[in-house]
Structure formats: structure tokens, C-alpha cells
Chains A and B, each alone.
Chain A
Amino acid sequence: MHPFTYTRVDDVEAASAAVTTDAVSRAVQGPDDTVFIAGGTTQLDLMRDGVWSPGTLVDVSRLPLADVELDEDTLVVGAAVTMADLARHEAVADLDVLRDSLLLAASPQLRSMATVGGNVLQRTRCRYFRDPEVTQCNKRRPGSGCAAIEGTARTHAVLGVDAGCIAVHASDLAVALVTLDARVRLHGPDGGRTIPVADLHVRADVDPARDNVLAAGELVTHLEIPVPDARTGYLKVRDRASYEFALTSAAVVARVEDGILAHVAVGLGGVGSVPWRATRAEEVLRGQRASLALFEQAAAAELADAFTVPGTDFKPELARRTLVRQLRDVTEVTA
């Protein structure tokens, strides 16, 4: 691991002032970069592997951002709240899609370390990104190519990708958040702004070297999560029963009135270079009479343009089935 300086800050202003490069938005950081650290569960691993080598770490884990509040119909969650604490909070007891996206992720130990702010900013698990001896990686070395295309790609993405990079965004929580129309509050040197979680990440087919749109010094301070008047659910399909990333997952928010899908929002995990909001599927579903045939039509529309390589050719079908099953389970429509 490269040497680095460690400092801890006690207020948000000091945190923003400490970071003067746009390091956070890039997939990798170097000795000239200062970055935030909170739970550290992704960062320490990447630093030990030699993928990340920031010169300075600014510890934001003790900022006063650890509260969960219900403001009318919106949950306001401090970025330093751990996954475990949010999952256990009474405010999410009936918000299945959010709670299950947390409880089906990682392990109990990791959930009691990792913060929700860090979770949405986590780096890809692509094994070629995480191995600095691999020379081809457009995330680490723009223009060098993508080793995953002809490599072991079972866990890689098929949406929002092209031959330049097929890295998946592995967060379950972020999939639930984009489906719930959640927003992130950011604090930067020039003040604050609030943007949809759906606008936070950068697709690999747009720029693999840039993971998000954060500007220099911008810190995620809160998540704003609207609580929908609808049934919700999160289904995760993976290679082992627990403590594993998604091969595919589906987040569904739906309200059926007289057989009609009066409200519907859909997200997919394990398949996108960003937390994937399935807008094409929603267009097929919205305002229509709920049926299995409709669900299948919607799922097919979402995956129609999937980009696959030999390692991921099973994924569009698995994603379609995952989505149909979760639409069926949340709406309780069985025919």
C-alpha cells in the first residue's frame, strides 16, 4: 500500500475544503489526490491491491450525518448512517425494497461498517479493474482496452456498456434508491445542491474512467428517499444463498388500482454499469392492465439492446425472469 496522510474532520465545511481535485469522480486516484474515507470497506481493499493510491485520506465517518428522519413522506438519511442501522430503522420496516436491498447485501460485519453514502459511491468489483497487473482497463488506464471482454465476465454488465468497459455497479441499495426516485444532497466548496441518485453515476459507455459527477470537494451529506404510496420489493439472484453480489436483481414499486398499474417504477441490479432504472419497461407497464404477458413484454423491452459477451450471454434472460417474477410478487398478479 502506498503511504498516505490521514486526517479527520469534524464538520462538513472542513471536509469540502480539504478536497481540491475532482478525485472522487474518477475511478482511480493517485498520490496527488485527496479523497474522503468513511466505512472504508471498499477503499482499504483497493488501496491494499495497489489500485488506489491517494496521497491523503480525509475521514468523514464522524461528521454529524448519522441521523434518520422522516420529513412528511420523505426519509432523510445522513450519509454516515451505516447500512445496518438504516436496515434496522423503524422507518424502513414497511419499505421492503429499501430494507431488503440492504439486508441482502454484504455480510453483517460489512453492513455495520459501510455507510450509505459510501455504498452508493462504491467502485466496481470487476476483477480486471481490481488487479493492477492487468494492463487493459479503460477505467484505470483510459484507452488501454478492456480485459473483461474476453475474460471471465459472469458478474459483468449488459446494459449501459459497450466494448470499452463492461464493469457492473454492484450496489443493491443504489438500485432501490433510483427506483424510489431518491435524491442525494451534496455539499461542496460553493455550497450545496441536490440531484437525483439516477444522475449521480456515469455510464461506462459514456466514460468508463469517470464513476460519478461529483465536483471537487463535493461530499454526499444525505439521501432523500420519498416513501411511495405503493407496494415494493427487491429480489436478488446470486450464485450462493448469502454474502454474494447479484447476478441479477429487480426492484419494483407498484400500485395496482382496479387491475391497472396506476403507479410503477422498476430498477435492475447486477446488469448495469450504473444502478439501472428500467424506464423502457416502465413505459410498457404504466397505466396498463397488469398481467404476466404485460410483465414479460416489459422485461423484454428493457433487455432488448443488451450488450453481451460470451461470459454474460445468460444475463438478459435471467434479468427478464427476475423482473417478471418480482413484478408478479409485488403486484400479486398471477395470470
Chain B
Amino acid sequence: MSRHSLHVTVNGEAHAVEVDTRRSLLDLLREDLALTGTQKGCDQGACGACTVHVDGRRVLSCLTLAAQAEGREVTTVEGIGTADELHPVQQAFLDCDAFQCGACTAGQVMSAVALLEEDDWSTRDDVRELMSGNLCRCGAYPRIVDAVLSVRATQEA
């Protein structure tokens, strides 16, 4: 079995770990670092439940080798807010009733946080398009779009 040593910063905390080269970033987070907020949905890059930020960009942790995260800054849903002080996107998901079962929510939230950092969109249709990498089997899409738009409205106010 081939192993690989790497350094990665997750939610501001530096980690030095040795992993099987086959380890995905998703499994590194969940299994080695016990950060289970990031969800494993399809494990093949189709559903977006595993979305995290790497150096500020939203990526699929299931299709990222842990080894490829060497030296990167990774942010997971645990890193954006706390139970007492939610991130504005998390609060908006609550306020807008933007989830039912919650399986996709961490990925939706991380995708939305990154989207709100981008400035090349404005409309409801833009949000639908730019959140299309995150599937929701409960079908909460209209309220997820509401949540994203409500945060953008607050940003602009």
C-alpha cells in the first residue's frame, strides 16, 4: 500500500497526516480529522454534498485526492459558523426553510457561501444555474434560491 505524507490547513488549523494515496479529501476530512459535517453523497462528483472550499474556491472533496491538498487551506461547514453564531447563509437556510432531510445542506451552504463571493450574477435564474452542482432530493430548490437571494439582498443593503 502506498502512503503519502501531507500538510494541510483545515478551518485554520494546521494538520500533518500520513494517508493512503487513494484517500480522497472527503475521507481525510471525515475519517482522519473527524469533521463529519461534510457529507458523502454519491462519491462520484454528481451530487455536490461534499462541497468544501480549497483556497477559497468551491470544489468537490470526493473527486480531490487528499495528496493534492498539500499546502492548501481547506474550509468545511464546521469552519464558517458556530451553533451560537451561524454564518449568514446558515441563518438564511433556517429562515427560508431551505431544507428538509438536511443530507445535502452542508454542501448547499458551502456552495452558496462561495457563490456569494462571486459577482457575475444577479437574477434568480443565475442562482439556479450557479447552484446546479448541488442536488436536493427533497426538492427544496425554490427555498434554497430564496436563501441565497436573501443574503445577497442583505449584502447590498
Contact = CB atoms under 8 A, between A and B. Distances in A.
Interface stretch (B29-37, B59-67, B93-101, B148-156): B59-67
Given A109-B58, A109-B133, A44 B63 contact: yes
24 contacts: A1-B22, A3-B1, A6-B2, A6-B21, A8-B70, A37-B65, A40-B65, A41-B60, A41-B63, A44-B24, A44-B64, A44-B65, A57-B65, A59-B67, A61-B68, A107-B48, A108-B58, A109-B58, A109-B111, A110-B45, A112-B58, A113-B63, A242-B128, A242-B129
Nearest to B66: A6
A49 B115 CA distance: 31
Contact of B22 (A4, A59, A61, A107): A4
B44 A48 contact: yes
Interface string A46-65: 00110000000101010000
Nearest to B125: A241
Contacts of A109: 48, 51, 58-60, 111, 133
Nearest to B128: A242
A45 B44 contact: yes
Interface centre among B20, B22, B134 (most CB of A within 10 A): B22
A1 B68 CA distance: 17
A84 B133 CA distance: 14
A151 B128 CA distance: 33
A241 B129 CA distance: 8
A40 B132 contact: no
Given A3-B22, A41-B45, A243 B133 contact: yes
Contacts of A88: 120
Interface string A1-24: 101111010000000000000000
Contacts of A107: 48, 132-134
Given A6-B4, A8-B70, 12 more contacts: A4-B2, A5-B2, A8-B67, A37-B65, A37-B68, A41-B63, A44-B64, A48-B43, A59-B67, A107-B48, A108-B58, A110-B133
Contact of B2 (A3, A59, A61): A3
B87 interface: no
What secondary structure prevails in chain B residues at the interface with A? mixed
Residue with the highest number of chain B CB atoms closer than 10 Å, among A4, A44, A45, A241: A44
Interface residues of A, number: 28
Given A5-B21, A48-B43, A108-B58, A113 B51 contact: no
Interface of A: 1, 3-6, 8, 37, 40-41, 44-45, 48-49, 57, 59, 61, 84, 88, 106-110, 112-113, 241-243
Contacts of A48: 43-44
B67 A6 contact: yes
B120 A59 contact: no
A320 to B, nearest CB: 27
A221 to B, nearest CB: 20
Nearest to A61: B68
B86 interface: no
Nearest to B57: A112
A333 to B, nearest CB: 28
Nearest to A59: B68
A108 B1 contact: no
A40 B69 CA distance: 12
Closest 6 CB pairs of A and B: A107-B133, A242-B132, A243-B132, A6-B21, A112-B57, A109-B133
